[in-house]
Structure 1
Amino acid sequence: MRAPATTHVPPPFGVAAACALLAGIAACLQWPVLAPGVWMLVALSVGAWLWRRQDRLRLAGVLLAGYGLCGLHASASLAGQLPPDFERADATIAGRVLELPQHEARRTRFLFKVDGDSGQHAFLRGRTLRLSWYDGYREQGDPRRLTLAPGSRWRLTARLRAPRGLRNPGSLDSEKHAFAQRVAATGYVRDPDTATSLSPPGGIDHWRDAMATRIDAAVPGATSRYLRALAVGDTRALAEQDWEALRAVGLTHLIAISGFHVGLVAGFFALVAAAAWRILAPLGRLLPRPQAAAAAALVGACGYAAVAGFGLPTVRTMLMVAVVVAARLWRRPLGVAPALALAAIVILLLDPLAVLAAGFWLSFAGVAWLAWCLPDARGGRRIVGEFLSAQGVATLGLLPLTVVLFGQASLAGPVANLVAIPWWSLVVVPLALLGTALEALHAGWGGAAWRLAGACFDLSWPLFQRMADSGLALWWLPEAASLALPLAVFAAFWCLLPRGVPGKPLALLLWMPLLWPDRKLPAHGEAEIVVIDVGQGLSVLVRTRTSALLYDTGMAVVDGYDAGERAVVPTLHALGVRRLERVVISHGDADHAGGYAAVRRRFPPDVAHAPEGSGVEGTQACLAGHGWRRDGVDFRFLHPPRHFPYLRNEASCVLRIETAHGAALLAGDIGEVIEEGLAARHAADLRADVVLAPHHGSRHSSGSAFVAATGARFALVSAGHGNRFGHPHPDTLARWRDAGAEVLSTADAGALRIRLGQAGIFASSRRDTHRRPWDAVHGRARLGPGAGGISYRPD
């Protein structure tokens, strides 16, 4: 008689359960619209019930529970954001400053936790806000200049708006960040002189801020900003150029307190406790030595995670240490993979929106690759061999995620990490921590250790700086299709299988969609126009088959936001632009020319044009009648004529782009007077299917004669959401729509892409083609019903 077949039931908190939970959460966040809360609650309840069952439906239940739990968290985060009725309203609030404020030349940016008492507005009670405090009108020595300390409590008046950011290929999605961090609103402090301090600073963040200040005083020069990051996780002093160098050599994961550093501290505490138990034998009667060492490791990990501000990598390592400690205390064996799975389940149950952070994927994926490929220190292998193998596994295994999350791959990263990991982690960081510990015991004791740590850091940093400046360290990659990531991960998995497994050379072909994606370049005689979302400003990319032209570069503020750096350059990288043949600066105003320096540093153009007298360095005058031809597409300036005085907006370069399948007109900031002159003298040249509405759609532009002369099918507007100028004006929009044009605005739709091709003219927007749950807030506009855009085929 045959024995009944047994069905394997996966453990409730094992690797399979962690993967199922992660899959359910990821599936929830991929849908553009969240299901009603009651259905999410049903999914969570049914999933939790199936999770507890001892049968094959357990993993399905885990997946369903993850979907429902994430949906409830996401719905709560969206419901907690500022409603439309409060947009641009002032609110008097009291609360506490969170984390470390970011001090800049003219403002301080900080998180503010509103008190939960009845003295606050009902909606804002207990909410987290991201605010800016502007005090740039004061000199550095002015005693009234703000010193906003972490942990301090204030009563202030703030003007608020719902979190809103730019949406472009390759650039930071600040709305996603606010959604994941449960930030209810952003805004700025009104009437700073009326703000009242309610209590002095305190807490762990105040202590971290004080330690950072002491490091600056003890360590001279630029090295102090790196030691602040390594010692207390304070990266505020690192400039964009510093991050560029770190990204180029693949060391961003080490410069702030990382999970590996937490593990080192935990191991050190464990060794100290074990030594104490060996010396003081009677302690073993109270608690066995292995359990005491494990408990000490957890104390060290928790303390160091607090010093780091409880960042995700440190929390992940702290949880892994806690899992191992729990296993030791209960005398149960636990491997690396089960510990990692349990830590992932705990994090996801506490905060399913953590999957929106790049650090979550890199942290867990890195340890998972190492746990799978290097499960044991096999006999006969040397430490150097194990380290090289681990570095190779991490490089190959994390490459797909790095490319998808950041659009880049560090070619110098493997070599740089071979030096930085042992030197920084085993020499620089311990010395920095020793200085911090001594300084905590008594002010002034930590200076010598910090200076020694800085000297050791300076021995290695020039090498990494030269590697970063070589030009070969960083490989920027275009945005790839969604299928490219799983194919590359499978290829990495196949390549890391044991020797003798066939097909490894063929597996390399699966990397192609990720490393060499289709850039969707126009064919001969076609053109693509991308209006980059730069907020209140303008930047337009025009691509033909083999060339790229950039018209304007967005806003830049002195010692502040630079759209060239934050929006234009990342978009060019994501679209696969390798060089700019030409740059046209329509005129010298900051919202059009401000980002030119950042763009020129990354993409030095062959030729640059600007109006004569605009003051833009290194440019040739754009003159009416001057033109060129590329890939069957004609470019020609229509304005300004020769000897035209520089009148800022009215002197804007007006560029006509004519393809075999339609024409486009980029009109800068010209007003009605110039428009009427062009309509009278160049009526035939103004005819265009796609027109960039002059001056961001202002009230005194896009006059009736100009609109009629263009005969446009698409009118494009580049403007910031809720800008103080009221662009685009309703009357202007009405004139375009009455003339039969479809009006598309970056303020509503993000970056706009228009293809003038053989199949017709097709328009799409970033918010349409990459829909996310947080886009549903306030009914943000989209172009088409599900197709991702709208098209027009000329008769």
Structure 2
Amino acid sequence: MACIAPRPTHPLFGKACAAGAVVGACAAAFAPVLPAPWVALLLIAAGMAGWVWPWRGRCCAVLLLGAGHVVLQGGLVLDRQLPAGRPPVDVMLQGRVVSLPEHRPGSTRFTLRIDTTPAMPAALRGQDVSLGWYDPPRSATSARRQVMAGAHWQFQARLRAPRGLRNPGGFDAEQHAVLQRVAGTGQVRAPHSARQLRAAHGLPAWRERMATAIATQVDGDGARFIQALALGDTRGLAPSDWDALRALGLTHLVAISGFHVGLVAGCAAWLGAALWRCWPALARRWPRPLAAATAAVLGAALYAGVAGFALPTVRTVLMIAVVAGAHCARRPCTIGQALALAALVMLALDPLAVLAPGFWLSFGGVLWLVWCLPGRRQHWLRTFLAAQGVATLALLPLTVALFGQASRAGPLVNLLAIPSWSLVVVPLALLGTVLEALMDGAGRWPWQLAAWCFQASWWLFGHLAQAPWALWWLPHAGAGALAAALCGVAWLLLPRGVAGRLPAAVLCLPLLWPAQQRPGEGEVELLVMDVGQGLAIWVRTRSHRLLYDAGPATAGRFDAGERVVVPTLHALGEDGLDRILLSHGDADHAGGAPAVQAALGHPPLHAPRGALAGIDVPCAAGQRWQWDGVTFSVLHPAPGTRYAGNESSCVLRIATPHGAILLTGDIGRGSEQRLLAADRQALRAALVVVPHHGSAGSSSAAWVRAASPQLALVSAGHGNRFGHPCADVVARWQAAGAEVLNTGDSGALRAWLGREGLQVREQRVFQPRWWDAAERSRSAAILSAVKQAADGPEG
């Protein structure tokens, strides 16, 4: 009788187990809620038992292990953060500045690691908090610029739980806080009481000292780029620099990237092997291949330290260490096996890394190259071109899904930038850093030469970045479109001779050209963006687009036009506007307008006469226009009236066959009375954006009764110092039968008014995340109410 050999099991650290761990980690990390801690412990126990047991389902067990690890770590991170929903607290803090401080006009932002001394609050000991130090009004000087990386300080600070804005396609500050393990955010209070306890020291201080040396010793505009390439210090890069880098597809090269770490590791290995060849006696004590492998790991680790151990560099060091370890142990290890082991080690150390875009770009890029270029010997130029083509095509779906954009100029520019920057500029920058570390002033000429070489190429690239075709913005698409595009790209990259290239390309279309539901004739769509304490509203009909206000902007702090409005419009598939209408000239409504105009082709600007400079058409009552069966009417201010700030706000009525929308700016009760006297019927609306962010000086009872909307939307910052929206105002709108929603709680509010009636979507509810501060505070309030009910009145 013939014996049937049992099927081999998957290795403990093999590719199948790595894939299972990644899938399990993703299933938990991208879930809307985190299960209870006991569920995490159960998953870890079951996964560990199934992983060590030799059976064919080992990869499925690792899936459970990865999910349980994410649930456990995510719960620990949230437990270490300040409680969501609680008011800010004032506390005296002592700690060390562990980040490179970002000094801007009027403000400085840095990360403080709080001391573990008993004098510190127990919940904050050893935790990182992100602090801002702002110059007080009318202050000529400030001590904030004395804050140096690596120094110990004592601050009086006001802290709150990490909380950010939530808009379609926007930056998720709460997710970033989870990834960076930030326990809270806040600002320095009573700056006069801040004092330095110990001078700057350690690795952060050395990095800042090197950055300062580059800034002072390098002439020209290239110093900020040399700081980025040598130290990973991107503080000097302006928004225009990042715009150019994105348009050119070069953001992956500007800071210390995994590719550069690999180059340094290869150079260190070559130097180690050369040293052993020069002194053959060394090989008697330690074989040359082992010395080269060790030198590669040390070189990569040192370069990662220069970058402050940023996450992309740590991933590359892990990959190099795995390959070197296998080489030293004389165990055969392919690149795919090394990649799998590095992924397992990375997830074991930080399972939440799957939330970082860099995790997918670094591991995904190497994986695609291993699959498409499996070690065939061919000319180096052909290999370089093939690798560039594979990386461009293979990473396109991930780039679009993660950033909502793709660089058309990237494939061409990278062919020139990778050799010139990585093989010329970076080595010179590193040489200057090494020499400067050995002797002050010795790094000047290598740094200067690196800057000249960089500027020679940047001059050419800068012209390409200005081309309108360089950057391709794409609307946000769902997870299904990303999965289909990845399958299509894999199909396209199959070996020659495989048929079906056209169907493969079709699979990419849902991601690259996603279907968009636009309003029909006589219908309107509206988005009240979450811009904090300000206002920005996007209105769309079937073929026209209007922006009503552009959000706040404060010099040196935050520009909602650049950081919220423009990215949101791109995520919605918009690359232009037909009109910008500013209700009035206050910074919380009009501050973001210059950035929006610059990014979207300078659409016509409407605003009250005298509100600000550069108005194309003054806004006044009686103006009317019609777009796609929808009538827009300006109700206020009266023509010829003198500009009076809030009371001169343009009030816009949007009338459709299915109801009306009223956009009110910051009008107060005086303007409300004038509008009531002029035409009470014109104020009737299905949806009203509540005047002046819900302040007590607006939304009079008569005004609310005249409008009687189904939906009242408030644009206000979460926990703002003005107390907006006022509780009495909210109660007044609710008593009139309106549902009241606030961007501070709900994130961006998107509404549709058409044949199916009035519909609304809250961004935080539509895309829930387990790290969402609003959801956690809501859950805490519910649990508190349940506990109080269970305890009874005496409890």
2:599 counterpart of 1:593: no
Alpha-carbon offset, residue 625 of structure 1: 1.4
2:436 counterpart of 1:457: no
- In 2, the alpha carbon distance for the partners of 1:166 and 1:456 equals 40
- In 2, the alpha carbon distance for the partners of 1:94 and 1:707 equals 50
Structure 1 counterpart of 2:49, one-letter code: W
CA offsets 1:255-288 (integer angstroms, 9 cap, x no match): 0011111111111111111111111111011100
SS of residue in 2 equivalent to 1:613 = coil
SS of residue in 1 equivalent to 2:41 = helix
Matches within 5 A, 1:26-45: 26-45=26-45
- In 2, the alpha carbon distance for the partners of 1:537 and 1:133 equals 22
Contact 2:297 2:320 in 1 (8 A): yes
Alpha-carbon offset, residue 502 of structure 1: 0.9
Which of the residues 499, 503, 507 maps onto 1:510? 507
Provide the residue aligned with 2:55 in structure 1.
55
SS of residue in 2 equivalent to 1:90 = strand
Contact 2:108 2:144 in 1 (8 A): no
SS of residue in 1 equivalent to 2:233 = coil
Contact 1:748 1:780 in 2 (8 A): no
Provide the residue aligned with 1:166 in structure 2.
165
Structure 2 counterpart of 1:89, one-letter code: V
Provide the residue aligned with 2:789 in structure 1.
none
SS of residue in 1 equivalent to 2:479 = coil
Judged with a 3 Å threshold, the aligned counterparts in structure 2 of structure 1 residues 724 and 465 are, in CA distance, closer, same or farther, namely same
Contact 2:85 2:773 in 1 (8 A): no
Provide the residue aligned with 1:467 in structure 2.
464
Judged with a 3 Å threshold, the aligned counterparts in structure 2 of structure 1 residues 143 and 79 are, in CA distance, closer, same or farther, namely closer
Structure 2 counterpart of 1:316, one-letter code: R
Provide the residue aligned with 2:754 in structure 1.
757
Contact 2:646 2:668 in 1 (8 A): yes
SS of residue in 1 equivalent to 2:672 = helix
Structure 2 counterpart of 1:583, one-letter code: I
Contact 2:215 2:224 in 1 (8 A): yes
Contact 1:541 1:550 in 2 (8 A): yes
2:645 counterpart of 1:645: no
Provide the residue aligned with 1:290 in structure 2.
289
Alpha-carbon offset, residue 354 of structure 1: 1.1
Contact 2:597 2:603 in 1 (8 A): no
Structure 1 counterpart of 2:429, one-letter code: A
The more displaced of 33-42 and 410-419 is 33-42
- In 1, the alpha carbon distance for the partners of 2:412 and 2:601 equals 29
CA offsets 1:429-470 (integer angstroms, 9 cap, x no match): 001101111111111111111111111111100111111001
The more displaced of 146-155 and 282-291 is 146-155
Contact 1:609 1:619 in 2 (8 A): yes
CA offsets 1:300-337 (integer angstroms, 9 cap, x no match): 01100100111122111111111111111111121111
- In 2, the alpha carbon distance for the partners of 1:348 and 1:643 equals 66
- In 2, the alpha carbon distance for the partners of 1:390 and 1:149 equals 42
Contact 1:33 1:776 in 2 (8 A): no
Contact 2:163 2:773 in 1 (8 A): no
Judged with a 3 Å threshold, the aligned counterparts in structure 2 of structure 1 residues 195 and 261 are, in CA distance, closer, same or farther, namely same
Contact 2:174 2:773 in 1 (8 A): no
2:473 counterpart of 1:476: yes
Structure 2 counterpart of 1:81, one-letter code: Q
Judged with a 3 Å threshold, the aligned counterparts in structure 2 of structure 1 residues 235 and 273 are, in CA distance, closer, same or farther, namely same
Alpha-carbon offset, residue 583 of structure 1: 0.7
Contact 1:98 1:150 in 2 (8 A): yes
Provide the residue aligned with 2:655 in structure 1.
658
SS of residue in 1 equivalent to 2:712 = strand
- In 2, the alpha carbon distance for the partners of 1:313 and 1:46 equals 31
TM-score normalised over the length of structure 1: 0.96
- In 1, the alpha carbon distance for the partners of 2:21 and 2:286 equals 36
Structure 2 counterpart of 1:655, one-letter code: L
- In 1, the alpha carbon distance for the partners of 2:155 and 2:17 equals 47
Matches within 5 A, 1:26-105: 26-83=26-83, 87-105=87-105
Structure 1 counterpart of 2:96, one-letter code: R
Contact 1:139 1:145 in 2 (8 A): no
Provide the residue aligned with 2:551 in structure 1.
554
Contact 2:474 2:512 in 1 (8 A): yes
- In 2, the alpha carbon distance for the partners of 1:145 and 1:97 equals 13
The more displaced of 25-34 and 569-578 is 25-34
- In 2, the alpha carbon distance for the partners of 1:464 and 1:775 equals 40
Provide the residue aligned with 1:541 in structure 2.
538
Matches within 5 A, 1:209-248: 209-248=208-247
Judged with a 3 Å threshold, the aligned counterparts in structure 2 of structure 1 residues 274 and 155 are, in CA distance, closer, same or farther, namely same
Provide the residue aligned with 1:699 in structure 2.
696
Alpha-carbon offset, residue 776 of structure 1: 5.5
Provide the residue aligned with 1:790 in structure 2.
none
TM-score normalised over the length of structure 2: 0.96
Contact 1:610 1:616 in 2 (8 A): no
Alpha-carbon offset, residue 85 of structure 1: 8.0
Provide the residue aligned with 2:116 in structure 1.
116
- In 2, the alpha carbon distance for the partners of 1:661 and 1:781 equals 34
CA offsets 1:597-636 (integer angstroms, 9 cap, x no match): 0000011354321001112413311111111111111101
Matches within 5 A, 1:411-430: 411-430=408-427
Judged with a 3 Å threshold, the aligned counterparts in structure 2 of structure 1 residues 307 and 327 are, in CA distance, closer, same or farther, namely same
Contact 1:715 1:744 in 2 (8 A): yes
Contact 2:577 2:600 in 1 (8 A): yes
Judged with a 3 Å threshold, the aligned counterparts in structure 2 of structure 1 residues 313 and 509 are, in CA distance, closer, same or farther, namely same
Alpha-carbon offset, residue 3 of structure 1: 2.2
Alpha-carbon offset, residue 137 of structure 1: 5.8
Structure 2 counterpart of 1:208, one-letter code: R
Provide the residue aligned with 2:363 in structure 1.
364
Matches within 5 A, 1:599-614: 599-614=596-611
Provide the residue aligned with 2:183 in structure 1.
184
- In 1, the alpha carbon distance for the partners of 2:475 and 2:777 equals 27
Provide the residue aligned with 1:350 in structure 2.
349
The more displaced of 27-36 and 4-13 is 4-13
Unmatched 5+ residue regions in structure 1? Answer: 786-795
Which of the residues 388, 393, 397 maps onto 2:394? 397
Aligned pairs, number = 780
Judged with a 3 Å threshold, the aligned counterparts in structure 2 of structure 1 residues 554 and 654 are, in CA distance, closer, same or farther, namely same
CA offsets 1:121-152 (integer angstroms, 9 cap, x no match): 11111111000112366888x58453111111
2:19 counterpart of 1:15: no
Alpha-carbon offset, residue 44 of structure 1: 0.8
SS of residue in 1 equivalent to 2:129 = strand
Unmatched 5+ residue regions in structure 2? Answer: 783-795
Provide the residue aligned with 1:330 in structure 2.
329
- In 2, the alpha carbon distance for the partners of 1:506 and 1:390 equals 24
The more displaced of 534-543 and 355-364 is 355-364
- In 2, the alpha carbon distance for the partners of 1:377 and 1:68 equals 40
Structure 1 counterpart of 2:314, one-letter code: V
Judged with a 3 Å threshold, the aligned counterparts in structure 2 of structure 1 residues 84 and 139 are, in CA distance, closer, same or farther, namely closer
- In 1, the alpha carbon distance for the partners of 2:676 and 2:87 equals 40
Which of the residues 681, 706, 711 maps onto 1:709? 706
Provide the residue aligned with 2:126 in structure 1.
126
Judged with a 3 Å threshold, the aligned counterparts in structure 2 of structure 1 residues 199 and 639 are, in CA distance, closer, same or farther, namely same
Provide the residue aligned with 1:312 in structure 2.
311
SS of residue in 1 equivalent to 2:77 = helix
The more displaced of 82-91 and 262-271 is 82-91
Provide the residue aligned with 1:276 in structure 2.
275
Contact 1:86 1:160 in 2 (8 A): no
SS of residue in 2 equivalent to 1:297 = helix
- In 2, the alpha carbon distance for the partners of 1:38 and 1:766 equals 30
Structure 2 counterpart of 1:580, one-letter code: L
- In 2, the alpha carbon distance for the partners of 1:148 and 1:303 equals 26
Structure 2 counterpart of 1:624, one-letter code: A
Provide the residue aligned with 2:254 in structure 1.
255
SS of residue in 2 equivalent to 1:422 = helix
- In 2, the alpha carbon distance for the partners of 1:263 and 1:591 equals 46
Structure 2 counterpart of 1:546, one-letter code: S
Cα RMSD for the two superposed structures:
1.5
Contact 1:649 1:671 in 2 (8 A): yes
Alpha-carbon offset, residue 713 of structure 1: 0.3
Contact 1:81 1:185 in 2 (8 A): yes
Provide the residue aligned with 1:201 in structure 2.
200
Structure 2 counterpart of 1:274, one-letter code: A
